[in-house]
């Protein structure tokens, strides 16, 4: 029997990762909509829907039946009181704005602060062909000034304006005064701008499917209002792909609060057309970034890196255990302004340029990475920039040049010693520790 091809192995890997990421969503679907045992309000007409949201009481449970779907709304559905639960039957066209309506879907904490709100099983379908051109940012779900919020099992599509940067309709928007928000097992597809954008504090984005969007699938910043980044964010176990104008996970603007950052981007599956798996760029100051255990393949050939950190300042950065396929730029790029970083145990296949490149970053380690088939350079590389000190050490990585489609074993059976070995770092001063301290011979890490 012939050895499996690289594409066969990749297909199996993507299928396994997709199964892991979507198991929770499948379980939720089997359980059915999470209707409250005894709803206080049952909605069957658009008039009842508007009236229910205008007159919500603390602790009220609202069930939106599929009997009147799609509900052609003429205004936002606002939740501004504590303890509200809104359940739907997981119908994708449950709520849809009427022609000419200057409204999106559901807003939580828009007019006043509220807590302990759950929105589950509600489908929002925008109406970009029938809504006014002057109406902007008509997102599917918005969490503004609220805490302890759950958005679970909802769906969003066709938000208005459609395919418009920064003022387009995103699927879910968590804004800067929001805290303790869980965005779990939602399906966001074919939206007008970003899939999910975040600017609050303590946010979990877990097990969602975000496909065929426009800009970032998950944005760690929200440009309106006041251009803020999120803090203390987990983006884990999501399936993302097909957003040609952005990264799968990106932070590319926004003003900072103190101690911005603390991002965990782990165990996600990426595919299709997009720029980078993870892009952190422009004039920002962040700390505590982990990018780990992700699997991603790029289908277009624009020269973007799989993981790219081009940032004014970042510290405490970990990039580990990621599998990156077919990125036309570099596999992993760590630029100037980054300090106290590690790039370890990653695998980069068929990158268009270098597998791993570090330029200008300081006080870091590049260790045990596997690079196969990089077109720009057979090995990964570390090139000191103008501000790079002697504090970046590289060891134990391996690289191999190969043609596309060559059969190969899985990474789990490989070790650097079985490949055509070359250094993961270009020769530089980084091999010599400074500050007068000698590291033990077993250590590959040095500090400037």
**Boundaries of every domain in the chain:** 8-430
User: Which of residues 124 and 401 earns the better pLDDT score?
Assistant: 124
59-63, 164-168, 256-260, range with greatest mean pLDDT:
59-63
Task: State the pLDDT at residue 7.
Answer: 46
Name the region of 107 (left: φ>0; alpha: ψ -120 to 50; beta: rest).
Answer: beta
**Confidence band (pLDDT; 50, 70, 90) for 22?**
very low
pLDDT bucket at 299, cuts 50 / 70 / 90:
confident
Q: Which of 29-38, 117-126, 157-166 has the highest mean pLDDT?
A: 117-126
Cα(447)–Cα(440) distance, integer angstroms? 13
pLDDT in tens, 5-21: 444 545 555 544 444 44
Q: What is the pLDDT of residue 283?
A: 67
Between 303 and 114, the more confident residue is 114
Distance CA(322)–CA(271), nearest Å, equals: 14
pLDDT band at 256 (very low <50, low <70, confident <90, very high): low
Q: Rounded mean pLDDT of 33-58?
A: 89
pLDDT digits (tens, 9 = 90+) for 383-421: 444 333 345 656 656 666 543 433 343 444 343 333 333
| pLDDT confidence band for 56 (50 / 70 / 90) | very high
- Model confidence over 167-176: pLDDT tens digits? 788 999 999 8
pLDDT at 99 over 60: yes
Predicted local distance difference test score (pLDDT) of residue 391: 55
pLDDT: is 25 or 250 the higher one? Answer: 250
C-beta of residue 308 within 8 angstroms of C-beta of residue 279: yes
Instruction: Provide the pLDDT for residue 351.
Output: 94
Distance (Å, rounded) from C-alpha 432 to C-alpha 217? Answer: 41
pLDDT of residue 75 exceeding 60: yes
SS3 annotation, the chain: CCCCCHHHHHHHHHHHHHHHHHHHHHHHHHHCCCCCCCCCEEECCHHHHHHHHHCCCCCCEEEECHHHCCEEECCCEEECCCCCEEEEEEEEEEEEECCCCCCCCEEECCCCCEEEEEEEEEEEECCCCCCCCCCCCECCEEECCEEEEEEECCEEECCECCCCCCCCCCCEEECCCCEEEEEECCEEECCCCCCEEECCEEEEEECCEEECCCCCCEECEECCCCCEECEEEEEECCEEECCCCCCCEEECCCECCCCCEEEEEECCEEECCCCCCEEEEEEEEEEEEEEECCEEECCCCCCCCCEEEEEEEEEEEEEECCEEECCCCCCEEECCCEEEEEEECCEEECCCCCCEEECCCEEEEEECCEEECCCCCCCCEECCCCCCCCCEEEECCEEECCCCCCCCCCHHHCCHHHCCCCCCCCCCHHHCCCCCCCCCCCCCCCCC
Average pLDDT in the chain: 80
Residue 422 banded pLDDT, cuts 50, 70, 90: very low
Q: Give the pLDDT score at 133.
A: 83
Residue 243 has pLDDT above 70, yes or no: yes
Pairing mode, strands 221-222 and 228-229: antiparallel
Mean pLDDT of 346-365: 94
Each residue's pLDDT tens digit, 310-344: 888 889 999 999 999 999 999 999 998 899 999 99
Q: What is the predicted pLDDT for the residue at 379?
A: 41
Is the model more confident about 386 or about 255? 255
- Residues 264-280: what's their mean pLDDT? 96
pLDDT at 97 over 80: yes
Query: In the prediction, which pLDDT does 377 show?
Result: 52
Q: Which of 162-166, 172-176, 379-383, 424-428 has the lowest mean pLDDT?
A: 424-428
Higher per-residue confidence, 256 vs 228: 228
Answer for the pair 263, 286: CB distance below 8 angstroms, yes or no: yes
State percent of the chain over pLDDT 70: 72
Q: Are 368 and 393 in contact (CB under 8 A)?
A: no
Rounded to whole angstroms, how far apart are CA atoms 66 and 89? 6
| pLDDT reported for residue 37 | 65
Residue of 34 and 164 predicted with greater confidence = 164
Percentage of the residues of the chain whose pLDDT score is greater than 90: 61
Higher pLDDT, 389 or 262: 262
The arithmetic mean of pLDDT across residues 286-295, rounded, is: 95
Q: Which residue has the higher pLDDT, 424 or 266?
A: 266
pLDDT recorded at residue 221 = 84
Position 412 scores a pLDDT of: 42
pTM for this entry: 0.82
Q: Find out if CATH 2.160.20 is the number for domain 8-430.
A: yes
Confidence of residue 423 (pLDDT cuts 50, 70, 90): very low
């Amino acid at each position: 029997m012939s050895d499996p091809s690289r594409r066969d192995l990749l297909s199996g890997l993507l299928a396994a990762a997709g199964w892991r990421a979507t198991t929770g969503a499948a379980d939720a679907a089997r359980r059915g909509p999470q209707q409250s045992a005894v709803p206080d309000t049952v909605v069957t007409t658009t008039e009842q829907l508007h009236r229910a949201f205008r007159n919500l009481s603390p602790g009220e449970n609202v069930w939106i039946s599929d009997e009147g779907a799609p509900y052609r709304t003429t205004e936002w559905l606002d939740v501004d009181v504590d303890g509200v639960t809104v359940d739907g039957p997981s119908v994708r066209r449950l709520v849809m704005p009427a022609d000419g309506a200057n409204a999106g879907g559901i807003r939580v904490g828009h007019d006043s602060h509220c807590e302990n709100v759950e929105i589950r099983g509600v489908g929002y379908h925008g109406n970009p062909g029938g809504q006014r051109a002057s109406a902007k940012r008509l997102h599917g779900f918005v969490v503004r000034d609220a805490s302890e919020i759950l958005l679970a099992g909802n769906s969003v599509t066709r938000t208005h304006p459609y395919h418009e940067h920064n003022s387009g309709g995103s699927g879910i928007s968590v804004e800067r005064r929001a805290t303790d928000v869980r965005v779990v097992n939602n399906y966001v597809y074919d939206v007008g701008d970003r899939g999910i954008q975040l600017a609050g504090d303590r946010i979990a984005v877990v097990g969602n499917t975000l496909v065929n969007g426009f800009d970032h699938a998950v944005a760690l910043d929200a440009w309106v209002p006041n251009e803020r980044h999120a803090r203390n964010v987990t983006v884990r176990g999501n399936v993302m792909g097909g957003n040609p104008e952005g990264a799968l996970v990106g932070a590319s603007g926004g003003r900072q609060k103190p101690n911005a950052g603390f991002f965990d981007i782990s165990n996600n599956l990426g595919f299709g057309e997009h720029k980078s798996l993870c892009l952190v760029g422009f004039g920002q100051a962040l700390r505590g970034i982990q990018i780990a255990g992700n699997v991603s393949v790029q289908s277009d050939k624009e020269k973007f890196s799989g993981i790219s950190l081009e940032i004014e300042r970042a510290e405490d950065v970990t990039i580990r255990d990621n599998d990156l396929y077919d990125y036309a730029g570099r596999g992993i790029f760590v630029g100037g302004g980054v300090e106290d970083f590690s790039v370890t145990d990653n695998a980069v296949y068929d990158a268009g340029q270098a597998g791993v490149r570090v330029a200008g970053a300081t006080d870091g380690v590049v260790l045990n990475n596997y690079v196969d088939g990089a077109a720009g350079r057979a090995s990964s590389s570390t090139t000191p920039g103008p501000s790079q000190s002697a504090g970046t050490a590289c060891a134990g990585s391996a690289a191999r040049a190969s043609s596309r489609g060559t059969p190969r074993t899985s990474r789990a059976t490989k070790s650097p010693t079985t490949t055509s070995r070359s250094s993961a770092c270009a020769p530089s001063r980084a091999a010599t520790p400074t500050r007068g301290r000698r590291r033990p011979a077993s250590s590959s890490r040095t500090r400037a």
